[in-house]
Structure 1
Amino acid sequence: MAGRATARRHRHVGRDDTVSPACRIGPETLTAYLDHLDRADRAGAVALARGLVADGCSIADVLVDLVAVAQREIGRRWLTGSWSVAQEHAATHVSEVVVDALGAAVGTPRRGHVVMACVEGEWHALAARIVTEVVRASGWRVTFLGASVPARHLVSYLHQTGPDAVLLSCVQPNRLVRAARMVEASRTAGVPVLAGGPGFGPEGRWATAIGAAAWGATARDALPAGAHTGPPPPPPDDAYVAVLHRRRELVRLALGAVDPPAETAEDVAAGIAHLVDALVAAVRVDDDRLLLDFVGWQAQALTARGGRLLLDEVLATLERALTEHPRVVARLRAARSVVTAG
């Protein structure tokens, strides 16, 4: 089966051929859709989406240009504190219902087989669901493996099924090290990985650095032509390995330094772990921008919630703990400047 998959892997894989150039989804439509999300109005959101398809928009148009755009606005509202976690979850659920409703109208697959997966530890699965339905609408059979797929389980599934490609979603850059493990596992199985999501950086700059065959900016770009595994990425440096091995210790040290109240300790520990993961990922791909952007995002979120000083103390603790790695310390100092500048 793996050999048959390899033979198919180089056929042309194009964009969703149902995209309508006449379809226009403007600000008024987005506002109306967001109003349905704000009120957790599933029926209204589904009716709006189906109405657009009936008027000539393709499924890709509605999912990429409306649902995905709305989801980014939902994230912004949560980040700035204007929406609670509960509001964000309720709105996301409505969009999931819309994706399911449009996906039910997709016909029989006529192309090959691809697997869609989220990076291990990544629980934001709506973007991957959107990609799944857009790719299905273009004629492919897609197996959606869901959120947080362990690398060892992915490679076992690939050996069993021999798909043409893996579509890998990563929303947050601090998951990049786990994404690298999944890419390596897929390459071992001889299956190319097509990466997507902001976790791979602006213009997907970190996707090829970890061995992905390509990166797509939107769901429409999820299947570029002629995907192949290509040459392996360069091995990571020793500092990456050293910091990764000390991950648990670093989280413990930083948590002890800030000593949060018992009722918030679990959330603070999770935030510190995300930050350490972003540091490890920045060292892995040798790009300061990854850590600086992630810290800037965390600082914005914490400012809206009154905890910016905590972030500076965490970074200072990590800096003191990693003095034997000068380049890592330099990255942490640059990140602290982002926090203090705000």
Structure 2
Amino acid sequence: MADWYEAFFASLADMDEYLATDLVDRALDSGLTPQQVLLEVIAPAQARVGREWAAGRFTVAREHAATAISERAIAALSRHRADPRPTGARGRVTVACVDGEWHALPARLVAETLGLRGWQVDFLGAHVPTPHLIAHLHATGPDAVALSCSLATRLPAAHATITACQSAGIPVLVGGAGFGPDGRYARLLGADGWAPDAESAVAHLEQQSLLTTTAHPELGDPYTALPHLADQEYTLLSRSRRQLAAQAMAGLEQRLPAMSGYTDRQREHTREDIDHILDFLVATVYLDQAQILSDFLLWTADILDARNVPPRSLLTVLDVIADQLRDFPRTLAVIDAGRTAVNTASSPLHSRPTEETA
């Protein structure tokens, strides 16, 4: 199996679509099942692509090309289903990404795995607006919804979608890195189940543990599930998001005179960094889980370090954002926790394991 995985990853690294699809055919001819190729060759190779990008060894364009090739390889694999048109004897599942979530490959892996196991699957793809998803559920009446969210910034939207699906009488299984380690945010948002990967998602559904919807007395009232929202910090923060970004950029220029010499590209990258931090801050305040922002900052620190940018530069960005939010105590506490995480990670006495030593 390791040889097929290494060969497939090499085809992604070389952006060789023809080799990738040929490897899928040859792996199947060698005796591997379609599910083995999907979950033990394609999926881990694509995950490695993400790590290569984060380490600065793949450009964004190369990562996008590799992802597109993986999607084509999955399409080639689907031709080898024992039953290319499942009867739906096991049941029917709608698989979709949360509104605003563009990382569709994890959801595609779940959809293909379900299809290989005989489920009737409606795969709706990336960025599915909640009203359209609910209309689809009313029209098709699936047994469950499998909802994917890779970025924690989409958790407020995920909460609205979970609640809407349950209000329509459809249980919701969620997955994706956005729901946090061990799915802790999935539970906070009231999902009926959480799965860390495609195989676990299929197991949930095949055990029928999800297919009897339990009562959700809090439906329609986010304050019941998340009582801290009553302080209105999330509402005010999200409404002023664009203004905060402009103020943070101006504040950063005052604190860092060297920015006057930045190129247009450097300034754009700085704006993007501020935007990402604010997006994660807003999501963190929504759930009142400081770990969301802290985890993102640590991930960003690793990427900056791989690009020879001092991770402690994040502290200055946090400071200028905090300057605009002096009347937001819960938000300031979240920023303080993020500062602590960055300071600890930047300490000479602290080191995180690399992929080679972990």
Q: Counterpart of 1:95?
A: 70
Q: Greater relative contact order: 1 or 2 (C-alpha under 8 angstroms, separation 6 or more)? A: 1
Q: Counterpart of 2:200?
A: 221
Cα deviation 1:284-329 (Å, max 9, x = unaligned): 3332221111111122222333374553222112222222232321
Give, in whole Å, the separation in 2 of the partners of 1:182 and 1:264: 37
Against the structure 1 CA distance between its residues 131 and 82, is the aligned structure 2 distance closer, same or farther, given a 3 Å change threshold? same
Q: Counterpart of 1:200?
A: 179
Q: Counterpart of 1:334?
A: 337
Against the structure 1 CA distance between its residues 230 and 103, is the aligned structure 2 distance closer, same or farther, given a 3 Å change threshold? farther
Q: Counterpart of 1:318?
A: 321
2:94 match: secondary structure: strand
Matches within 5 A, 1:265-276: 265-276=267-278
Q: Counterpart of 2:102?
A: 123
Verify the 8 A CA contact 2:4 2:27 in the aligned structure 1: no
Structure 1 unaligned segments of length 5 or more: list them.
1-24
Aligned counterpart for 2:145 among listed residues 166, 174, 177: 166
The question of 1:234 aligning with 2:225 is answered yes
Q: Counterpart of 1:255?
A: 249
Verify the 8 A CA contact 1:191 1:229 in the aligned structure 2: no
Verify the 8 A CA contact 2:252 2:320 in the aligned structure 1: no
Which residue identity is paired with 2:26?
G
Which residue identity is paired with 2:95?
M
Give, in whole Å, the separation in 2 of the partners of 1:316 and 1:120: 31
Matches within 5 A, 1:39-50: 39-50=14-25
Verify the 8 A CA contact 2:155 2:179 in the aligned structure 1: yes
TM-score scaled to structure 2, two decimals? Answer: 0.81
Matches within 5 A, 1:303-314: 303-305=305-307, 306=309, 308=311, 310-314=313-317
The question of 1:110 aligning with 2:87 is answered yes
1:230 Cα deviation after fit: 4.5
Which residue identity is paired with 1:205?
R
1:280 Cα deviation after fit: 2.4
Give, in whole Å, the separation in 2 of the partners of 1:155 and 1:123: 19
1:30 Cα deviation after fit: 2.1
Q: Counterpart of 1:209?
A: 188
Q: Counterpart of 1:141?
A: 120
Give, in whole Å, the separation in 1 of the partners of 2:147 and 2:23: 29
Give, in whole Å, the separation in 1 of the partners of 2:250 and 2:139: 45
Matches within 5 A, 1:175-190: 175-190=154-169
Verify the 8 A CA contact 1:190 1:229 in the aligned structure 2: no
Q: Percent identity?
A: 39
Give, in whole Å, the separation in 2 of the partners of 1:182 and 1:270: 27
Tell me whether 166-175 or 322-331 shows the greater mean CA deviation: 322-331
Verify the 8 A CA contact 1:283 1:328 in the aligned structure 2: yes
Which residue identity is paired with 2:236?
A
Give, in whole Å, the separation in 2 of the partners of 1:181 and 1:283: 16
Which residue identity is paired with 1:263?
R
Verify the 8 A CA contact 2:111 2:123 in the aligned structure 1: yes
1:204 Cα deviation after fit: 1.0
Q: Counterpart of 1:67?
A: 42
Against the structure 1 CA distance between its residues 269 and 117, is the aligned structure 2 distance closer, same or farther, given a 3 Å change threshold? farther
1:253 Cα deviation after fit: 2.0
Against the structure 1 CA distance between its residues 229 and 123, is the aligned structure 2 distance closer, same or farther, given a 3 Å change threshold? farther
Q: Counterpart of 1:291?
A: 293
Which residue identity is paired with 1:109?
P
Verify the 8 A CA contact 2:226 2:287 in the aligned structure 1: no
2:265 match: secondary structure: coil
Larger Rg: 2
Q: Please, what is the CA RMSD of the aligned residues?
A: 2.1
Against the structure 1 CA distance between its residues 265 and 177, is the aligned structure 2 distance closer, same or farther, given a 3 Å change threshold? farther
Against the structure 1 CA distance between its residues 236 and 58, is the aligned structure 2 distance closer, same or farther, given a 3 Å change threshold? farther
Verify the 8 A CA contact 1:64 1:218 in the aligned structure 2: no
Verify the 8 A CA contact 1:131 1:222 in the aligned structure 2: yes
1:271 Cα deviation after fit: 3.3
Against the structure 1 CA distance between its residues 101 and 236, is the aligned structure 2 distance closer, same or farther, given a 3 Å change threshold? farther
1:90 Cα deviation after fit: 1.6
Give, in whole Å, the separation in 2 of the partners of 1:123 and 1:31: 27
Cα deviation 1:27-77 (Å, max 9, x = unaligned): x33221111111112222222223333333332222222211111111111
1:234 Cα deviation after fit: 0.9
Structure 2 unaligned segments of length 5 or more: list them.
219-223, 254-258, 347-358
1:266 Cα deviation after fit: 4.3
Which residue identity is paired with 1:272?
I
Q: Counterpart of 2:353?
A: none
1:265 Cα deviation after fit: 4.2
Which residue identity is paired with 1:210?
L
